[in-house]
Amino acid sequence: MDNERRLKKVLDNMPILFFSLDENLRPVSWNHECQRVLGFSSQEILNDQNFSFKNLIQVKEEGESSEFNPELLNSDFKNWELDLISKEGKAKLVSLSNISSEFPLFGSTKWFVGVDITRTKEIERELKSSLKELSDFQTALNAVSIVAITDRAGTIIYVNQNFCDISGYSRDELLGHNHRIINSGYHPKEFFVDLWKTIAKGKIWQGEIKNKAKDGRYYWVDTTISPILDGNGKPYQYLAIRNDITERKETEEKARHAENNLKILQDRMSPHFLFNTLSIIHSYLQTNPGLADSAILMLADNYRFLMDQANQQLVPFDIEWEFMENYLQLLKLRFSDFLEVESEKSGNFKQCQIPPLTLQPLVENSYIHGLRDRKGKGKISVKASIEDGKAMVTIRDNGKGLSDANIHSRSIANISERLKFYLYDSEVKIENHPEGGAVVTIGFKSAKN
């Protein structure tokens, strides 16, 4: 008896449901966990002669009892999940196991243990719902956005198909590499240093990035990089969501270039230059009429170019070269005693195109910043050639050379930007020449489609 009392005390206080039934399915024992889960005290259950285990079975919405076969209770070591109704009318899902009837306990051969799995099932359903929502979100995101995930070191560990499509690289070519594989070289080093500082602190970074595809094509993406944090709040992965904004950026750049071209055109059509040149031509009308006639024709050609070609995105290189040579000759005409000019072009430039007003402003820049204040005779030399399929142009003066302040002039920066936008593998470099003066070098390949 003492052992049975001790066992009953242990079973009464177990953190799992324990109850036993007689042959009529009336409860014989009912522990505290049964009361906690279902709300019925042991006194209510055991003193109610009309109470049966069937009273706890949930009723279907149609008004029929849920399928419950009492014979299941006679099976040894059977496990099943059963919907029960608590005293408050709330549904409770219980995982039950009936223990062997060969071991009668407290006068019953049907005794059971169970666990309330109501919340577990709710969490499971919520998790399934969340996973479906996450899957739907991922499907929608992959449909419209360019998605990549990198590890802490920036190594790509996931890309979606949109990333492959816009970059031109296959998934195998991208995984295991970092984003330097699509670096366009457009942004300065400090741009990416700031990006990494931001996300390494667990903060979201947003901005616009210019990338380079496998085939050399450039594209712009509006980018949001969100750190994925570990249990300590430290980033261990980075999720990058991008959207293609190439068309918008190209429209903006074309508008900006058009505005710059208009400014350059206004500068080239300055009345100051026209009046000075006409004054020189007038002086030659008496002393050298032939030279005056040639100068008038060159001046007319220059203004015809400005009216017909300056608003184009690209013009044949030979036409741009002719415009630059005319300007050189007019410059020499104005300053014949103080300026020597030469131009040389070698190679076939018939298939070559260049943004208009590229060469002449560079020549003018050499005169204004290099020779105008120079004592003695100055010289401007312009040479063009084709080297390994790349057009190369150098413009050199023998002036005072560059100071740090004028290495990055507005006109050169504008020309560099236009060349990068319209031409492949373009470059613009300005530096002091070892023999004195400054030299500007530009290079480019074919025009972009």
Q: What is the mean pLDDT of the chain?
A: 81
The whole-number pLDDT of residue 315 equals 87
Q: Which CATH architecture has domain 314-447?
A: 2-Layer Sandwich (3.30)
Neighbour-count burial of 28, counting CB atoms closer than 10 A to its CB (0-12 exposed, 13-18 middle, 19+ buried): middle
- Confidence at residue 403, expressed as pLDDT on a 0 to 100 scale: 72
How many other CB atoms are there within 10 angstroms of residue 120's CB atom?
Answer: 12
What is the C-alpha to C-alpha distance for residues 449 and 446, in angstroms, rounded to an integer? 9
CA distance 317 to 305: 13
Sheet holding 218-229, edge to edge: 156-159, 146-151, 235-244, 218-229, 205-212
Answer whether 1-122 and 314-447 agree in fold. Answer: no
pLDDT level of residue 388 (50, 70, 90 thresholds): confident
DSSP letter string over 92-122?
A: EEEEEEEPPTTS-BTTBSEEEEEEE-HHHHH
* Nearest-angstrom CA–CA distance, 383 and 363: 11
How is residue 319 written in tokens? 């036409």
| Backbone angles phi and psi of 228, in degrees to 5 | -100, 120
107-158 pLDDT, tens digit each: 666 778 889 998 888 888 888 887 777 777 777 777 779 999 999 999 999 9
The answer to whether 345 and 374 are in contact (CB under 8 A) is no
pLDDT average, residue stretch 256-263: 64
Q: Is the pLDDT of residue 166 over 90?
A: yes
Residue 237 has a pLDDT of: 94
Instruction: Pick the closest to residue 211 from 244, 241, 184 (CA basis).
Output: 184
Q: Check pLDDT > 60 for residue 405.
A: no
pLDDT in tens, 59-102: 655 545 445 566 666 666 677 888 888 999 888 999 888 876 55
Percent of the chain with pLDDT over 70: 78
Q: What pLDDT shows up at residue 185?
A: 86
Identify the top-confidence range among 59-63, 110-114, 164-168, 434-438: 164-168
Residues 199 and 208: their CA atoms lie apart, in Å, by 15
Write phi, then psi, for 40 (nearest 5 degrees): -90, 130
| pLDDT confidence of residue 65 | 47
Structural contact between residues 397 and 370, judged by C-beta atoms closer than 8 angstroms: yes
| Residue-wise pLDDT tens digits, 415-433 | 888 888 788 788 888 888 8
Q: Is the pLDDT of residue 268 over 70?
A: no
Neighbours of 344 (CB within 10 A): 10
Listed residue (33, 105, 31, 111) closest to 77, CA to CA: 111
| Average pLDDT estimate for 393-406 | 77
Q: Which CATH architecture has domain 145-249?
A: 2-Layer Sandwich (3.30)
**Which has more pLDDT, 219 or 289?**
219
For the cut 70, the answer to whether the pLDDT of residue 105 exceeds it is no
Instruction: Read off the pTM.
Output: 0.48
Residue boundaries of the structural domains of the chain: 1-122, 145-249, 314-447
Segment holding 148, helix H or strand E? strand 146-151
Strands 378-387 and 339-346: parallel
Mean pLDDT of 210-239: 93
CB 260 within 8 A of CB 418: yes
CATH fold for domain 1-122? Beta-Lactamase (3.30.450)
Name the 3-class secondary structure at 443: strand
How many whole angstroms separate alpha carbon 447 and alpha carbon 449?
6
Cβ count near 343 (within 10 Å): 17
